[in-house]
Amino acid sequence: MKVLVTGSNGQLGRELQFDCPKDLKLIPLSRQVLDISDKAAVFRAVKKIQPNVIINAAAYTSVDNAEDEHELTFTTNTRGPEILALACKQFDIRLLQISTDYVFDGNKSSPYLISDSVNPINIYGLSKAKAEKIIQKILPNAVILRTASLYANHSKNFVNTMLGMMSKNDQLSIVVDQVGTPTWIETLTKAVFSLVRNESLQGIYHCTDLGVASWYDFAVAIYDEAQLSGLLPDNEKVAINAIASKDYPTPAQRPAYSVLDKSRLQTDLNINLKSWRESLKLAFSKRRERLLDT
């Protein structure tokens, strides 16, 4: 099976290349090679490559900057997926679109179901919600996979930012009143490749690790696990203080509650998801192994 991956230099695009099963042929294309907002370029590439599946990992993910950079955000996150859907329809190709928990407003107090209405509260979430709607209209058999708080041992993400800050500061202030579920990137790539293989599956799926954590909870766990795994020295003492969102204003509003219901994913793919804390331990164990190998 031939699988084209857009946005191959991004966090997810890179990991898909690392984790790709040997029975799949992955064709990774970076934004520099293929700008998904360029309709002519997309149709030429798809016609030439003739993939069985396209995984759209290309996205503008700077949530705060999106509040000012509307045109770039919607061009990348909405127009690009629309063009991919049109190409997939013309050439009879499956599309797997990566989406986000930020399509929801965070007003619930129980995990968001795939059937819940979207109501984004920031520009980034709006751009992704519009893409979902457009894709479903053009390509009803597409797969839309929502995820949240994604991190890898590479690229820019909350975990790597925290490790960097913890190595330089003795005190951090982290928001405690925004809760969701941290997601190790290997959890997501496993689900992506399972969905690619299951050609009969379509519609919306949610994929994160299990459990609930605030950004403060996540930061404390990062500190504890980093010390246990030797990624931070034992004598690296960092006080982590819990603060409210109002005390850390950002250009983009974030949902207060952003937990996704994963039951359809677990049932349809027979996937046993791990708790977010267990995944963090595994991620740090792999990071430690790579450091020892170098």
Active site residues per annotation: 124
What does the alpha-carbon distance between residue 211 and residue 38 come to, in Å, rounded to a whole number? 39
Question: Are 37 and 78 a contacting pair, CB within 8 Å?
Answer: no
Label each residue of 103-170 as H, E or C: HCCCCCCCCECCCCCCCCCCHHHHHHHHHHHHHHHHCCCCEEEEECCEECCCCCCHHHHHHHHHCCCC
Handedness of CA 248, 253, 257, 263 (dihedral sign): negative
What does the alpha-carbon distance between residue 211 and residue 242 come to, in Å, rounded to a whole number? 19
Question: Are 207 and 146 a contacting pair, CB within 8 Å?
Answer: yes
CB atoms within 10 A of CB 270: 8
Cα 185–Cα 5–Cα 103 angle in degrees, nearest 5:
60
Question: Are 113 and 264 a contacting pair, CB within 8 Å?
Answer: no
Report which of 260, 65, 235 is spatially closest to residue 156, judged by C-alpha positions. 65
63 in helix, strand or coil? Answer: coil
